[in-house]
Amino acid sequence: MNIKQVNRLIVTLALTTVALAALTLALSSQSARAQAGDEIHVDKQLGRADPVVHVGEYLTFTISIRNDTAFTAITLPLSDTYNANVLGYVDAVPPPDSVYTETGRLDWADLTTDFGDLPPGQQITVVVGFIAEHPETAVVNAAEVHDALCDSGALSGTNSIISDTESVGGSSPVDKELLAGLIPQAGLPLTFTIVITNNGYTTMTVAPLVDTYNPAWLAFNYAVPPPDLVDAASGVLTWTDVTSWTGDIPAHGTVSVTTVFTALAATDNVTNHAEATGASDWYGNDMGGGADDVPITIIEAPTATPAPTNTPAPTPTQPAPTPVPATDTPTPTATAEATPTPALLPETGRDVGILNSSLLASLLVLGTGAAILIYARRNRTA
């Protein structure tokens, strides 16, 4: 074999060796990719079963990161983007390195700083918390691993997008009731209670209220708190914002308004209407309104029954005097003196005057005799 043939053989063997090495590397890489998926897998989920959240609610998203490659990840950046028009960032575990609330982006420069290197098949979890600040039919939230590295170079990552979450706003239902046990009667006062409820998860800061009534049958007296506007001719009471009197209404809280009227006349089916429209929450969102009607029937006032008077007891009837027959009595003349009729003693009929004269005469005789007897005795003694 000459020198030329030897050189050709050496070149051919070298080329064959290089080709076999390249093929082996390619097959090894393809095998690793086929077995491990060749990616850092990201999966983001809402941390609750119900995808409908209310404005003011705190909600979390869980970001799971799994190393599906054959290489250990030694650098693992993560970005989380959210709709800043709907969600407000609150917190995260671990906390991000950068927060851009205007654009709605959170960045972790390298999660291995918190969790350590991520070997093949291992998984880590990041939890992010938000407040739903505005209603939206579809809340878009996405997480992505980018620029991941292993000892051999770059690793590809994936992203995960959530778009089936819905944010809904609160409402302000109204309940109006006639005071319990009150029977509407003409001429008497009627009291109503209006309750406004914050049916939401955030504070209600504005709560307008309008109360309407029929002025032909009801006359407005007063309300607590008092309305800002009173249109007695049309029968409209307006509160531009009840919270200016009561303070802000907390989530699921209530406020009450009391209105007092006078029933003017009897009638059937008079409707008293209350409505809350234009309420808004802490974030300036319009809240759904509410209304309620109270139909009443006004009856006539009871007729007053006259009080009984005191009737005097009947006086016993006196018997009529028995008539006495008239006798002819002589009329005395002006010059003649009337001679009194002498009184008679009972049973004897003797004249009292004659009896008195006889008694006097007897006494005189007895007295005279006694005097003579006394005189005679004195003379004898002498």
pLDDT string in tens for the chain (382-residue length)? 555 454 454 544 444 443 444 444 443 443 344 334 579 999 999 999 999 999 999 999 999 999 999 999 999 999 999 999 999 999 999 999 999 999 999 999 999 999 999 999 999 999 999 999 999 999 989 999 999 999 989 999 999 999 889 999 999 999 999 999 888 999 999 999 999 999 999 999 999 999 999 999 999 999 999 999 999 999 999 999 999 999 999 999 999 999 999 999 999 888 999 999 999 999 999 999 999 999 999 999 876 665 665 655 555 555 545 554 444 444 444 444 444 444 444 444 444 444 455 544 555 555 555 555 555 566 555 4
Q: Is residue 242 in some structural domain?
A: yes
At 307 the pLDDT is 60
In this structure, the answer to whether residues 224 and 262 fall within a common structural domain is yes
With left for phi above 0 and alpha for psi between -120 and 50, is residue 18 left, alpha or beta?
Answer: alpha
Tell which of 111, 138, 168 closes a domain.
Answer: 168
Please check whether residues 142 and 102 belong to one and the same domain: yes
**114 shares its domain with 178:** no
**Domain enclosing residue 246, as ranges:** 174-298
Domain co-membership, 256 together with 142: no
Query: Are 90 and 122 contained in the same domain?
Result: yes
pLDDT at residue 313 in the model: 54
pLDDT for position 304: 61
- pLDDT of 280: 97
- Out of 124, 153, 168, pick the residue that ends a domain: 168
Does 185 lie in the same domain as 161?
Answer: no
Q: Are residues 190 and 230 in the same domain?
A: yes
Q: Is residue 110 part of a domain?
A: yes
CATH code for the domain in which residue 51 is found:
2.60.40.680
Q: Which of 168, 197, 222 is the last residue of a domain?
A: 168
185 and 100 share one domain: no
Residue 92 lies in a domain: yes
Instruction: Kindly state the DSSP code that residue 274 receives in the 8-state scheme.
Output: E
The answer to whether 286 touches 169, Cβ cutoff 8 Å, is yes
In a domain, 119, yes or no: yes
Q: Are residues 155 and 229 in the same domain?
A: no
Helices of type H across the chain? 3-36, 112-115, 243-246, 352-381
Within a domain: 369 = no
What count of Cα atoms within 13 Å lies in the side-chain half-sphere of residue 90? 15
- Alpha-carbon gap, residue 89 to 142, rounded angstroms: 14
Residues 62 and 43 sit within 8 Å (Cβ to Cβ): no
Q: Are residues 205 and 159 in the same domain?
A: no
> How many CA atoms does the CB half-sphere of 165 hold within 13 Å?
27
Is residue 225 included in any domain, yes or no?
yes
Residue 22, phi then psi, degrees to nearest 5: -65, -40
Would you call 381 helix, strand, or coil by DSSP?
helix
Q: Which residue's entry shows tokens 């919270």?
A: 243
Query: What CATH number does the domain containing 204 carry?
Result: 2.60.40.10
Burial 140-164 (b: 16+ CB within 10 A, else e): bbbbbbeebbbeeeebebbebebee
Determine the pLDDT at residue 45.
95
Same domain, residue pair 132 and 198: no
**Is the separation of the CB atoms in 286 and 223 below 8 Å?**
no
Q: Is residue 304 part of a domain?
A: no
- Closest C-alpha to 55, from 161, 152, 158, 172: 172
Assigned domain for 321 exists = no
Q: How far is CA 157 from its chain centroid? A: 54
Query: Domain count of the chain?
Result: 2
Residues 179 and 224 reside in one and the same domain: yes
For 49, how many CA atoms within 13 A lie in the half-sphere containing its CB?
0
